[in-house]
Structure 1
Amino acid sequence: MVEELAQADDAVAACVGDAAWALAEDELVAALDAAHRLEQRLAAVKLALVREVDGRGTAVAQGASSTAVWLRERLRLTIPAARRLVDLAACVDAAPTAVRDALAAGAVSVEQVRVIADTVSTVQTSAGPEVADNAVAVLVDWAGQFDPMLLRKLSTRILDHVAPDIADAAAAAALDAEDARATRDRHLTISEQTNGRLRLTGTLDAETATLLRAAIDPLSAPAGPDDNRCAGQRRHDALADVCRLALRANELPDSGGDPAQIVVTTSYDGLTRQLSTGVLDLGLRLTPDTVRRLACDATILPAVLGGTGQVLDVGRQRRLISGPLRRALVLRDGGCAFPGCDRPPRWCDAHHIHHWADGGPTNLDNAVLLCGHHHRHIHHNDWTVRLGDDSHPEFIPPAWLDPDQLPRRNHYHRRT
């Protein structure tokens, strides 16, 4: 096998140097088909080798903690890619012989094999091995016509084609099996990165996926014509808004005897009336701008620290904008006051027009409702906000956006 793979490697290497632009159109398409078929055949060989390495315990014998870790070092893969490779190898190994043969012949892809294997396993449980064998033939034929996603959709009704007399009862059993599989496979991984950032990966079951979409889809829409965030950034900010709402609702379980909260420690210069950089209770540092933004709508707990950081005195905490004052603010603004934004009040922070850290008072004339996105936007860009002659907020765009800097208002929430 090693010699044959070396010969195949030489043949592929010879193709790498060939100029694709010199091929006629029919030759170009034929070469693409041949390359794809070869890729599937090589995948069959590679997965068989991975399965054998895993089955023999080669990785552990060579000092690795798992086959995935060994593959990461040997093939220079990421851990998720290595785990997926081990998982696919097991899936192909468990697939019926006809499916493995189809993969080896380049007739199906690895992802199609996964779909077929899952379907056949469900059919065998609900209808028996004979019906499962018939399903394999149909599914392999369909794989030659449909991509993995459409193949999975079609596979949910495979019994209509191979065993119509038991299709309805088996469909119910298949639904139960899929639900059990979704419950088993659900997970969320939170991986810490540098500077306090997190990477989220995982698989949600159908119910949770529906809840997530219902919560973040309305918040993921562009906030206006000036919103330059990409779709991924908008979803990120929408998730942040959902977390803020959950914290504001005061219905989360206590953590260590205290309500769920973010704790930021910062110093305050009485001469310049400026907040400095902050430190989260996890030890991560925040910029002064981030601290100032968080202080707009937060519980402030003054504390006097000694030179070594010892707590000498702790004052009484006070909510900056809450209760009757926030209700009055909601009645006045009706939601995010930034021009063109339709976010409702529950998604909004109370922002001090003249920053509290700079001595700004806590009253209705110095407050405005802003959603999470526009709260960040105001703090980090050149927009300014003020109250007009009618005591409603208006926003002055930066000169690069509007040389005349004409005030703009939000018309979504106006009641008159």
Structure 2
Amino acid sequence: MVEELAQADDAVAACVDAAAWTLAEHDLIAALDAAHRLTQRLAAIELTLVRELDGRGTARAQGASCTTVWLRERLRLTVPTARRLVDLAAALDNGHNGGVRQALADGNITAEQARVITDTVTTVHDSAGTAAADKAVGVLVEWAGQFDPTLLRKVSSRILDHVAPDVAEAAAKAALDADARRADRDRHLTLSAQTDGRLRLTGILDAETAGVLRAAIDPLSAPSGPDDQRFPGQRRHDALADLCRLTLRTGDLPEHGGDPAQIVITTSYDALARGLSAGTLDAGFTVTPQTVRRLACDAAILPAVLGGTSQTLDVGRQRRLITGPLRRALVLRDRGCAFPGCDRPPRWCDAHHIRHWTDGGPTSLANAVLLCAHHHRHVHHSEWTVHLGNDGHPEFTPPAWLDPDQIPRRNHYHRRN
């Protein structure tokens, strides 16, 4: 398969620089259809490979928490995209979806249409049995030639009227239950960091959470008066900020690494007093002097001194836990889980002694690294090793079976430049 895919890659590469402008219109359309069909066939191959890798446990063997995270790192996908890939690969592996997998391999349906069909066929199979499911595959694949994924999902809601009318009414309830399970499965919220420190929020909320959010945010989203010039989207943004500030002030949030939920900002005290210097949030983003002073008015001053001698960052053997100023310095250095390919933020991480405390390792910045719970366990129970590089940042050496050259690796998800 590897050799044949390499040959296919060469053939496709030859088409990349082909002069499309020389083609007649009907040839352009034919080439578009062929490229689209090839895309679907390659998707079928990719899904087969993903399913096999997932079944073998390759992701965990190589240090990832799951196949979704491994695909994110390996193929540079977003987590939601990788998760949908794993879920569809598993669905197509079910026997009653064999016809869907074949239709995708033949280039007759798209991957998104395949996802709609597998969801529907699974519901039919559970409600009316294998025969009805097989019939539903044929009907839905035919409909896929007429409808895009959105319309296909809409019309497929009445598929039992066509393939098993005797159980259609009873199955309607089962379909609603399946929709509820799918809503539970698909719920997610993604926070995508922009280069200037802003966040892009995307996601899907289930119906209950959507109701809770609207109940909490709508009263805060109303115009403040007749002179309020904010757009509705800006008012919702400000309402979410108010909601988060109110939550932080309750004191009911769980601790993170031994510290209460808080915003840590790094600047010099003299610059703060003069209002002349920008600051850096614990998430790694720079904010204006005006923002620094505003945040300082609403919080105790938490000093974070890097590269100086006034801050006690080494407590030797007197204390095992890495908390307080030492943990804040660790967060400012690692910015999140330091294991290669992990994007877990600092508040989800433990502080790991590079040389174990029980083996005589000191509690100090030079002997600590931030690791999420999964990678903390993985480092303890695998052949990966960690040390600080010449610049004082963590490097991880993989086991020889994974990388015979054992080239040290770093995490690039938390870099600030």
Q: Normalized against structure 1, the TM-score is what?
A: 0.56
Matches within 5 A, 1:390-401: none
- Cα offsets for 1:254-311 (capped at 9, x unmatched): 4489x99979899999xx996976787989764233356679xx879999xxxx89xx
Matches within 5 A, 1:193-272: 197-198=198-199, 200-209=201-210, 212=213, 215=217, 235=233, 238-244=236-242, 254-255=252-253
| 8 Å contact kept, 1:247–1:261 | no
User: Match for 2:30: what amino acid?
Assistant: A
Does 24-33 or 201-210 show the bigger shift?
A: 201-210
Q: State the distance in 2 between where 1:63 and 1:291 align.
A: 39
Report how many aligned residue pairs link the two structures: 298
User: Match for 1:37: what amino acid?
Assistant: R
The yes-or-no answer on 1:108 pairing with 2:112 is no
Q: State the distance in 2 between where 1:162 and 1:64 align.
A: 43
| 8 Å contact kept, 2:37–2:108 | yes
Q: 2:147 aligns to what SS in structure 1?
A: coil
- Cα offsets for 1:340-368 (capped at 9, x unmatched): xxxxxxxxxxxxxxxxxxxxxxxxxxxxx
Q: State the distance in 2 between where 1:76 and 1:84 align.
A: 14
User: Match for 2:40: what amino acid?
Assistant: Q
Q: 2:18 aligns to what SS in structure 1?
A: coil
Look at both structures and tell me which one has the larger radius of gyration over its CA atoms: 1
CA drift at 1:93: 2.0
CA drift at 1:40: 0.5
- Cα offsets for 1:23-69 (capped at 9, x unmatched): 22121111111110111011111211222222233444556554445
- Cα offsets for 1:89-148 (capped at 9, x unmatched): 223223611111111110011111111111111122222222222221111111111111
User: Match for 1:47: what amino acid?
Assistant: L
Question: Which consecutive unaligned segments of at least 5 residues does structure 1 have?
Answer: 310-416
Question: Which consecutive unaligned segments of at least 5 residues does structure 2 have?
Answer: 303-309, 312-417
Q: State the distance in 1 between where 2:282 and 2:54 align.
A: 42
User: Match for 1:54: what amino acid?
Assistant: D
User: Match for 1:123: what amino acid?
Assistant: V
Q: Corresponding residue for 1:120? A: 121
The yes-or-no answer on 1:5 pairing with 2:5 is yes
Q: 1:188 aligns to what SS in structure 2?
A: strand
Q: Corresponding residue for 2:35? A: 35
Q: 2:189 aligns to what SS in structure 1?
A: strand
Q: Could you say which structure has the greater relative contact order, defined with CA pairs below 8 angstroms and 6 or more residues apart?
A: 2
Structure-2 change in CA distance of 1:190 and 1:35 (3 Å): closer
Structure-2 change in CA distance of 1:57 and 1:119 (3 Å): same
| 8 Å contact kept, 2:91–2:97 | no
Structure-2 change in CA distance of 1:210 and 1:267 (3 Å): same
Q: Corresponding residue for 2:171? A: 170
User: Match for 2:87: what amino acid?
Assistant: D
The yes-or-no answer on 1:289 pairing with 2:287 is no
Identity of aligned residues (%): 64
CA drift at 1:200: 3.8
User: Match for 1:12: what amino acid?
Assistant: V
RMSD: 4.8
The yes-or-no answer on 1:24 pairing with 2:24 is yes
Q: State the distance in 1 between where 2:3 and 2:154 align.
A: 41
Q: State the distance in 2 between where 1:39 and 1:217 align.
A: 47
Q: Normalized against structure 2, the TM-score is what?
A: 0.56
Q: 1:106 aligns to what SS in structure 2?
A: coil
